[in-house]
């Protein structure tokens, strides 16, 4: 089914904004964070207006309403990714915290010096730095699946690494720079056959693809609300019950305990064992509303629309002399187009585009090693979502010709 993007855009009030010089906003930075529909904004507003209270411990009306909304959102999120139980969905602040939770709990309880952790060369810093810290602390070994020149993972090299019996494989489902959609099911199956546990960074995949964690057989799967039409400050970690039950708590404090004595404590049951202190309640409500919104449109239709936009964008960008694109062809990637323009720094590209309201990202996109792999310090990145249009791509292309003209 073709998305009715005209109607969808009416749900996003910020898309009607103009810049300080009067240009209409052309938002091509959804990989960094998506815009929020009124359905999410109003759900959070209604919580604060009508049901604001702390959760779980209160028995008064507002506390019970707030608790029902908070836990109801968890149920929606679990259904959205097809978790076996809502107990397998842990609220965190974001994907970064979800990955760190695994690194600080499961990894520190299960990994020792010399154990192998396999990552990839296309990882976001969030899926690199926690393992560097663990390497320095525990002496674990880190190895990396190479990225080919066309932006794909070298699965033959991965197969060779698996012969070294890794304990953990952690990889991004979709690259935030190249847009590459990695074959997660195959990578996970191969890892399990080698006896490894698998953590998937789903920050870019859950907003754009139909993700079924049970079908993938992922052990851990991390993602953020703010990239999928939800609010900032909240994310989720999916984990298999058997793994989460065996892991020690991440943070200590209120609500993650069943019993506390002066000299001891007993942790709470799942999922509360990993949710210390007053949580982001309004944000959880917004997260649930975002899941409802995406589900009502349909993830397969969203993915098809993004593919259409991306294919068009790559074709138009390739027309521009001096533009070099990074990543695979449109059929192997999500809604991302990272590029360089000969003789112009990506930050200058972004700044000049902004003069006409075109918002793109410039820099290393928290993936410095990947940029080093391709021998460049930075790229410009246009990224697309369910509200993106081909007309906006045309405005991007028009802006890039303006950049070329200004720089001669």
The CA-based diameter of the chain, rounded to the nearest angstrom, is 72
The answer to whether the Cα torsion of 392, 393, 399, 403 is positive or negative is positive
Under 8 Å between Cβ of 305 and 5: yes
**DSSP alpha helix (H) spans, 147-224:** 155-162, 184-193, 213-216
Under 8 Å between Cβ of 396 and 18: no
Q: Can you spell out the DSSP letters for 187-206?
A: HHHHHHHTT-EEEEE-TTTT
Angle between helices 155-162 and 184-193 (to 10 degrees): 20
Long-range contacts of 71-76 (CB under 8 A, 24+ apart): 72/288, 73/284, 73/285, 73/287, 73/288, 73/289, 73/291, 74/271, 74/284, 74/288, 76/288, 76/291, 76/292
The span from the CA of 15 to the CA of 25, in Å, is 6
Q: Can you spell out the DSSP letters for 222-258?
A: EEESTTTTS-TT-EEEEE-HHHHHHSPPSS-STTSEE
Closest CA to 334 of 304, 291, 365, 293: 304
Angle at 82 between CA 79 and CA 86, to 5 degrees: 55
Marked catalytic residue, from 53, 86, 366, 376 = 366
Residue 388, classified by CB atoms within 10 Å of its CB into exposed (0-12), middle (13-18) or buried (19+), is buried
- Catalytic, 229? Answer no
User: Strands 336-341 and 323-326: what pairing?
Assistant: antiparallel
Active site members: 366
């Amino acid at each position: 089914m073709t998305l009715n993007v005209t109607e969808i855009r009416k749900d996003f009030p910020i898309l009607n904004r103009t810049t300080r010089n009067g240009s209409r906003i052309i938002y091509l930075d959804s990989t960094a964070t998506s815009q929020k529909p009124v359905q999410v904004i109003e759900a959070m507003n209604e919580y604060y207006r009508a049901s604001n209270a702390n959760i779980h411990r209160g028995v008064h009306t507002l506390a019970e309403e707030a608790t029902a909304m908070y836990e109801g959102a968890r149920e929606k999120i679990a259904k959205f990714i097809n978790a076996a139980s809502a107990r397998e969905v842990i609220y965190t602040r974001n994907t970064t915290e979800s990955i760190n939770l695994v690194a600080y709990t499961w990894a520190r309880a299960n990994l020792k010096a010399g154990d192998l952790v396999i990552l990839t060369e296309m990882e976001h810093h969030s899926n690199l730095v926690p393992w560097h810290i663990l390497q320095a602390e525990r002496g674990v070994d880190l190895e990396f699946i190479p990225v080919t020149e066309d932006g794909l993972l070298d699965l033959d090299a991965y197969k060779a690494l698996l012969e070294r019996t890794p304990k953990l494989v952690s990889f991004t489902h979709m690259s935030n720079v190249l847009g590459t959609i990695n074959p997660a099911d195959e990578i996970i199956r191969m890892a399990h056959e080698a006896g490894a546990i698998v953590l998937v960074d789903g920050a870019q995949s859950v907003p754009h693809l139909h993700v079924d964690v049970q079908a993938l057989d992922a052990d851990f799967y991390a993602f953020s609300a703010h990239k999928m039409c939800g609010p900032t400050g909240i994310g989720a970690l999916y984990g298999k019950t058997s793994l989460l039950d065996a892991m020690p708590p991440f943070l200590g404090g209120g609500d993650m305990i069943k019993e506390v004595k002066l000299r001891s404590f007993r942790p709470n049951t799942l999922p509360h064992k990993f949710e210390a202190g007053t949580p982001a309640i309004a944000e959880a409500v917004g997260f649930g509303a975002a899941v409802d919104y995406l589900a009502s449109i349909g993830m397969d239709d969203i993915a098809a629309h993004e593919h259409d936009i991306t294919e068009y964008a790559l074709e138009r960008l390739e027309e521009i002399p001096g533009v070099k694109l990074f990543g695979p062809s449109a059929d192997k990637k999500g809604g991302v187009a990272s590029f360089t323009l000969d003789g112009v720094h990506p930050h200058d590209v972004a700044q000049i585009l902004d003069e006409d309201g075109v918002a793109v990202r410039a820099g290393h996109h928290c993936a410095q090693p990947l940029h080093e792999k391709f021998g460049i310090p930075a790229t410009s990145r246009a990224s697309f979502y369910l509200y993106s249009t081909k007309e906006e791509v045309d405005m991007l292309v028009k802006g890039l010709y303006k950049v070329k003209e200004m720089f001669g």
